[in-house]
Amino acid sequence: MNITFKMDEPVGSSLLDHTRQNVISRPIDRIEGPLKVAGRARYSAEFKFPGMVHGVLVGSTIPAGTITGINETRARALPGVLAVVTDYETFLRNPGQGLETEAPAQGVREIAYFGQPVALVVAETFEAARNAAGALDIAYAPAEARLDFRALQSEARPKESSQKSQGDLDRAMMDAAASIDAVWTTPSQNSAAMEPHASTALWEGDTLIVYGAYQMLSSDRQQLADALGLAPDKVRIIAHYVGGGFGAKLGISQESVAAALAARALNRPVQVVMTRQQVFEATVRRSETIQRVRLAAGADGRLTGIGHETITANLPDEDFSEPASASTQFLYGGEARRFGNSIVTLNQVLSASMRAPGEAVGMLALEGAMDELAEALDIDPVELRKRNLPPRHPMDDLPFSSRSLAECLDHGASAFGWADRNPRPANRREGEWWIGQGMAAAARSNMLITSSARVTLGTDSRALIETDMTDIGTGTYTILAQIAAEMLGLPVEAIDVHLGDTAFPAAAGSGGSFGAASAGTSVYLACKRLRETLAERIGATPEELVLSEGMARRGNAAKPFSELVTEPLVATATVEPGKTEENFVQAAFGAHFAEVGVHVHTGEIRVRRMHGTFAAGRILNEKTARSQCIGGMVFGIGTALTEELVHDTRLGTIVNHDLAEYHLPVHADVPRIDVVFLEERDHAANPLLAKGIGELGISGAGAAIANAVYNACGMRVRDFPLTLDKLIAHLPDPDAVQP
């Protein structure tokens, strides 16, 4: 039984609102949790095979130039070394972007950035391979490198597809009762997933099997096959568990191709695990941005114009550009509008999708500007936002599929106690701390990506879900089991979920906040098909059918599955995006509130509490969804206050290429965080009526913190992260300000 469903029309209702099993949405624990805490969930670098050997990548020590020769003598002489694998043409120069189906940039004789992997040293042990990697002598002809983003910003080339304009923004700015025209800058960042990039490769005949730490297996398989000149069905990628990705594992990275080549050359399984430094130097980063935001408003606070223009950086021949204005384009109204990106070519590691590409840094600028506008007009920041919610998309004239933003703003303000905030900055002091409060809206586009799943209802009243969807720590195993349990009237414990293997039907993968809704819909559709079969078997219409406790019922008649299912029932379903994505603006929304302390002497900033109210359609599991939002808000702390990937503009090196010096928030930086979900259904999104939530928590969170910093100490810093050195020169005299 194969069915395909295309999302061309809004769905009237979802079975999930009628099955009444009280399983969907319940905040149950992750079903794979016990495996993880017991160390029995195996990650890509934890697979061991007979004869397996270890490879360590060797990175370039110049940022631009050409390899003139590799001398293997010293490396090969070391104990345990088996091979130095080089393949100038086939090795990946760059990692892949998400959803691409062709190989990423290949060819490593030319050096495009410091740390670019150019060879693989293989040895009996990881330690021997690492030792020998350091002894590989590589000669280079260096070329002039482009390393200084800010110095080169005037050379940025426009990205044509991103340029959008409506009306006359310059005129609107001139005629405005109040306007903001300022530049925000955000630094280079790294996803910093806990699990490093890793691949374990082995060949079975002419088929390559890679245990790889990847987020989107079906497209990753195509990338890997293309890179190696194989047919996609000769490549199998397995990733049962992924230790975080945050965008850095959307496409394949260099270790997979190197491991595959080495495994073929040596005819042994080869495991390649990137070092932490290599993860920083050679995988994926978020570009630094320079964002100019313009707001023009009347005295009533209604926007008459809005502009959001962004300069980003990327490697030569790469055109991904951080879409900082993504949500700006539909979040607020204003007739005159201008958006666009331009790209500076840099010899720095690939810029690609990382943690809410666009909103994570774009909302810092937009929502900072809105805070400044609110102050200029003496309008409450919550009220200013509510006054500017457009009835339809301001440029495309499309309706919103669902948008509970005003409700989120009101609920969040009330729950946080926003009414008690003193709008005058540097006016509340507790001991040596100025206290401030800030808020920001949250918005993140919703997407549906083609996704398939197979559901088998066994003769033992258990169901099996199979799809190559991944669980990157988000709760996919759990929500898919909940959807099937709810649909089939089985306990969650009776659902087996097998993920992360391209031998299963191809799924959307984890990325862009679309994983749960896309993969979840395929499971829903397959279960719906199974319900139809069960209905036929007890002579009921699908509408009459009630499934619960392993029984199929029609009115007072009931039969156990064990009588109805004598052979396993299999349904495979595919969901595809359709016209609803063209006919509606789809996004999840929310409101962030934050309270911070700024130390009056040192300028240290500590977040004291955060609140987020979100609406994202149906919430599939209130616990995993809440955890996702909390995680996003924690990354919001990092985005606002601590994270900065530092590139040495002389040497091309990444200065802070480890987790000691690349500062993510630690436990002590994270205060109490409250998360509330408002009830919502989105009928244009998918048959689950759910919207993506993975990136909603970070969108706007950092802006709420930055706005709170201003409220605390009166310092408006537009250069992120807000480290104390940017405050200290301008802090008011602590002895002059009395509480």
Partner 1 sequence: MRAFDYQRPESAEAATRAQSGAEARFIAGGTNLLDLMKLEIETPRTLIDISRLPLDGIAPTEAGGFSIGALVTNAALAADPSVRRLYPVLSRALLAGASGQLRNKATTGGNLLQRTRCYYFYNPATPCNKREPGSGCSAIGGHTRIHAILGTSPHCIATHPSDMAVAMMALEAEVEILGPDGQTRTIPLADLYRLPGDTPHIETSLAPGDLITAVILPPPPPGRQLYRKVRDRASYAFALVSVAAIIAMENGRISAARLAFGGLAPMPWRDREVEALLIGEAPSPALFAAAADRLLATARTEDGNAFKSPLARRTLASVLATACAGNS
Among 657, 683, 691, 718, binds partner 1 (CB under 8 A): 657
Q: Does 735 bind partner 1 (CB under 8 A)?
A: yes
**Cβ closer to partner 1: 36 or 130?**
130
Task: Spell out the residues 6+ positions from residue 73 whose beta carbon is closer than 8 angstroms to its own.
Answer: 137
In the region spanning residues 571 to 610, those forming contacts with partner 1, defined by CB under 8 A, are 599, 601-604, 606
Per annotation, catalytic residue among 255, 318, 643, 695: 695
- Quick note: the x/- pattern for partner 1 over 432-471, rule CB under 8 A, is x---------------------------------------
What's the min distance (Å) between Cβ of 253 and partner 1? 20
Q: Does 549 bind partner 1 (CB under 8 A)?
A: no
CB 257 within 8 Å of CB 227: yes
Q: Does 533 bind partner 1 (CB under 8 A)?
A: no
Give the three-class secondary structure for 598.
strand
**Cβ closer to partner 1: 620 or 717?**
717
Residue 231 CA, distance from chain mean position:
29
Please choose, from the candidates 297, 350, 324, 310, the residue with its C-alpha nearest in 3D space to the C-alpha of residue 116: 350
Contact window for partner 1 (CB under 8 A) among 173-181, 409-417, 639-647, 685-693: 639-647
254-266 and 217-228 are packed helices; what angle lies between their axes, rounded to 10 degrees? Answer: 50
Query: CB neighbours (10 Å) of residue 119?
Result: 25
* Tokens 């099937």 belong to residue: 484
Contact window for partner 1 (CB under 8 A) among 14-22, 174-182, 316-324, 652-660: 652-660
Q: Does 101 bind partner 1 (CB under 8 A)?
A: no
**Cβ closer to partner 1: 460 or 658?**
658
Q: What share of the chain is helix, strand, coil (3-state, %, to 5)?
A: 30, 30, 45
- Quick note: the x/- pattern for partner 1 over 666-705, rule CB under 8 A, is xxxx------------------------------------
The C-alpha R_g of the chain, in whole angstroms, comes to: 27
Give the three-class secondary structure for 100.
coil
359-377 and 701-713 are packed helices; what angle lies between their axes, rounded to 10 degrees? Answer: 40
* φ/ψ bin of 675: left (φ > 0), alpha (ψ from -120 to 50), beta (otherwise): beta
What's the min distance (Å) between Cβ of 657 and partner 1? 8
Largest CA distance in the chain: 83
Burial class (CB in 10 A: 0-12, 13-18, 19+), 88: middle
Among 12, 69, 729, 738, binds partner 1 (CB under 8 A): 729
Give the integer Cα–Cα distance in Å for 161 and 664. 33
Q: Does 139 bind partner 1 (CB under 8 A)?
A: no
Query: CB neighbours (10 Å) of residue 251?
Result: 30
Amino acid letter, 523: V
Please choose, from the candidates 229, 289, 238, 294, the residue with its C-alpha nearest in 3D space to the C-alpha of residue 264: 229
In the region spanning residues 219 to 258, those forming contacts with partner 1, defined by CB under 8 A, are none
Residue 383 designated active-site: no
Contact window for partner 1 (CB under 8 A) among 294-302, 439-447, 613-621, 722-730: 722-730
Q: Does 651 bind partner 1 (CB under 8 A)?
A: yes
**Cβ closer to partner 1: 541 or 602?**
602
Among 653, 674, 676, 737, binds partner 1 (CB under 8 A): 653
- Residues known to be catalytic: 695
Interface positions with partner 1 (CB under 8 A): 61, 79, 114, 127, 130-131, 134, 432, 599, 601-604, 606, 641-642, 646, 648, 650-651, 653, 655-658, 660-661, 663, 665-669, 723-725, 728-729, 731, 734-735
